[in-house]
A and B are shown apart, each in its own frame.
Chain A
């Protein structure tokens, strides 16, 4: 067990902005108003504003220091399963910041934002083409928001047919972690479907649950074991036969670009993660973007507004792009039109790749995962051992040692690697979920594999090295219990701040 010095005063590595604050300092100021001053309504004013006061250089150095404590894709290999931490091309950052895009208001008249609308309309079309769906909305803000959109659409579809007894959402045990919550928050009952020994959805268990109360099935395919379901068409057929719909969790679409269009095998609705598949950066936790595609029979339920062509092009004029509201729309999922900045990045990325480039992404993402799996499988047990897709799951357990997946994850940091996802999926004991992505070269994969093999050796010979890891990072293991029990969730300016002036 890691020990923490609970009673010692912790050493401050980087002060907070509140601690760096000094009364009277300013960074950026604003010009005095060039109009006659109006009377401020005294009775409505606040008397204190306890925000920090820093000079600009202090702010820059503070964030520079903080940034040095972060591991990032720009800094190294980030094989975080299920998260698709591929390289984020720099050009996307520049295109998203073109003044023509950043300085447009979402409520401007149509004729002043035709560039933005044309881009959004085109991305909708491209995503339809890539996924095989009839219609796409760009509004959802993230993957889970897309799932929520999808669950609401599925519910609305059944309601519109007055099929009100459908309350059950089937979710395989190899599905993404957000799926149960996404269904739960719209009031559906979750039924978990187990996996079979090859990591597919267990067909017998599925059959047993397929009845007239099924809203649908949320299928992650490839699933969180990194495996493509070998009877996916049968799974889809079973759900459709009982009147249910199939939701495809598109978080793992990186494995399928140009290989298979989910719409072609009968998936009814799916979200995309632009921040995974189409390389918009993860931003330390967001923003993401979670467009949703649907088959024809669900198109009327999409959230509003969609981007459409209001007036077709003529010989002289380009088309007029504008907003459309689907006939039976579930409503609006957020204010305005979606994460436009992310949409520009994904557009740029697809434009650079074309159809052939997208297929190569999937091919090399899958090759990299299989190569890494081949290199480590004799050291770490791979419980569902077959050709994987973009990721695979190994057991972080070494025969003859008490080392756990967590120790291996922390030790990897000492070799300047980000750890894989651990303890997920839940169906694998001490899971290490490894997704290398297509942008990593063979040398990196070799170094990572060799490091994992070395760590397995250390687990047997010098286990304490792992128990106490990481050693070379700026910070060590954290006292999570203290954080949760003491609940210090914010800091303040000192009590008598500024009074001496």
Chain B
């Protein structure tokens, strides 16, 4: 399982890149879901989101899950490609599988990589 050091993490298994506000689901989350077949981004560019509000709905061959905003802020980009290539959530969760970009968020209170790794290992 991969936990990049440069990212911050939530208890609901999202990551956010402090540098540009890019958000996605973690390697642990995609592994739990197994093969993702559908991603629906529930917000639009320009929306203001609250931390913990739903930003995406994900369906795999055996499970369904929601993804939540790690921080409050404004949505500045969404990953349009996921509609056609939902499998990138599995193959590249920290790269091409990003979901949205949120600006202006307060990252305090989020976990760092080490804390998140521990949190995942405790749930295994």
Contact, chains A and B (beta carbon distance below 8 A): yes
> Top 6 A-B pairs ranked by shortest CB distance?
A484-B37, A481-B35, A480-B61, A484-B61, A481-B61, A485-B37
How close is A58's CB to chain B, nearest CB, in angstroms? Answer: 35
Which secondary structure dominates where chain A touches chain B? helix
> In whole angstroms, what is the CA distance A484 to B61 when docked?
7
How close is B38's CB to chain A, nearest CB, in angstroms? Answer: 8
List A contacts of B61 (CB < 8 A): 480-481, 484
Interface residue range, chain B: under 10
Query: Does residue B27 face the partner (Cβ distance < 8 Å to A)?
Result: no
> In whole angstroms, what is the CA distance A485 to B87 when docked?
9
> In whole angstroms, what is the CA distance A20 to B100 when docked?
48
List A contacts of B35 (CB < 8 A): 481, 484-485
Known A481-B61, A485-B87; further 8 A-B contacts with Cβ < 8 A: A480-B61, A481-B35, A481-B37, A484-B35, A484-B37, A484-B61, A485-B35, A485-B37
Which secondary structure dominates where chain B touches chain A? loop
Of chain A, the residue at the smallest CB distance from B62 is A480
Of chain B, the residue at the smallest CB distance from A485 is B37
> In whole angstroms, what is the CA distance A470 to B17 when docked?
46
A–B pairs, 10, beta carbons within 8 Å: A480-B61, A481-B35, A481-B37, A481-B61, A484-B35, A484-B37, A484-B61, A485-B35, A485-B37, A485-B87
Binary B-proximity of A455-482 (CB < 8 A = 1, otherwise 0): 0000000000000000000000000110
List B contacts of A481 (CB < 8 A): 35, 37, 61
List B contacts of A480 (CB < 8 A): 61
Binary A-proximity of B52-65 (CB < 8 A = 1, otherwise 0): 00000000010000
List A contacts of B37 (CB < 8 A): 481, 484-485
How close is A442's CB to chain B, nearest CB, in angstroms? Answer: 37
How close is B97's CB to chain A, nearest CB, in angstroms? Answer: 15
Of chain B, the residue at the smallest CB distance from A423 is B62
How close is A284's CB to chain B, nearest CB, in angstroms? Answer: 22
Of chain B, the residue at the smallest CB distance from A484 is B37
How close is B24's CB to chain A, nearest CB, in angstroms? Answer: 20
> In whole angstroms, what is the CA distance A484 to B35 when docked?
9
List B contacts of A484 (CB < 8 A): 35, 37, 61
How close is B42's CB to chain A, nearest CB, in angstroms? Answer: 17
| Interface hits, A475-496 → B, CB 8 Å | 480-481, 484-485
List B contacts of A485 (CB < 8 A): 35, 37, 87
Of chain B, the residue at the smallest CB distance from A483 is B61
List A contacts of B87 (CB < 8 A): 485
> In whole angstroms, what is the CA distance A485 to B35 when docked?
9
> In whole angstroms, what is the CA distance A480 to B87 when docked?
14
Of chain A, the residue at the smallest CB distance from B37 is A484
How close is B70's CB to chain A, nearest CB, in angstroms? Answer: 24
How close is A283's CB to chain B, nearest CB, in angstroms? Answer: 26
> In whole angstroms, what is the CA distance A484 to B60 when docked?
9
| Interface hits, B2-47 → A, CB 8 Å | 35, 37
How close is B92's CB to chain A, nearest CB, in angstroms? Answer: 16
Of chain A, the residue at the smallest CB distance from B86 is A485
> In whole angstroms, what is the CA distance A481 to B86 when docked?
12
How close is B82's CB to chain A, nearest CB, in angstroms? Answer: 13
> In whole angstroms, what is the CA distance A485 to B38 when docked?
9
